[in-house]
Amino acid sequence: MNTSITIRKATSEDVALILGFIQQLADYEKLSHEVVATEADLRNTLFGDNPVAHVVIAEADGEPAGFALYFYNFSTFLGKPGLYLEDLFVNPKYRGLKIGKSLLIHLAKTALEQGCGRFEWSVLDWNTPAIEFYRAMGASGMEGWTIQRVTGDALVELAAKAP
């Protein structure tokens, strides 16, 4: 029997579902201790007056199976926006049904429709299955680049420094 896969834009009614997917992704990535987001946070930042990111939900035969959360950035070198994929997760129950591939294709189409010059994301270096999947989809690693992050107390301290 064939499974029907659909991708739809998330709505504010999906906030609990989105948070659940985020928590499942964090569990998989061994980063559950870093999840402090609440439903209220997500409702405000994704569906409030000034949404800062977008979410699509993948459904398998009408059941939520995965999600992708993305936002737009900007490439000064290209002079164009880019689409940055923050999170991609498929429930293990639904893996092998090409849901991850469907989500990436959907986002690639979205990037082109929005005039983006690139579509990028980060992946943990130990996540070999994901890296292999991304390579099979045409992605390439950005050798020589590392992610830098300032968060929590360090962010507060940096903002308080005098120039």
Catalytic residue positions, numbered: 134
Q: CA 123 to CA 6: how far, in whole Å?
A: 25
Q: CA 137 to CA 38: how far, in whole Å?
A: 32
Q: CA 161 to CA 154: how far, in whole Å?
A: 11
Look up residue 4 and give its DSSP letter: P
Question: Which residue is it, tokens 């107390």?
Answer: 153
Q: Which of 68, 138, 65, 139 is nearest to 96 (CA)?
A: 65
Q: CA 68 to CA 90: how far, in whole Å?
A: 9
- Give the containing element (helix H, strand E) for 72: strand 63-75
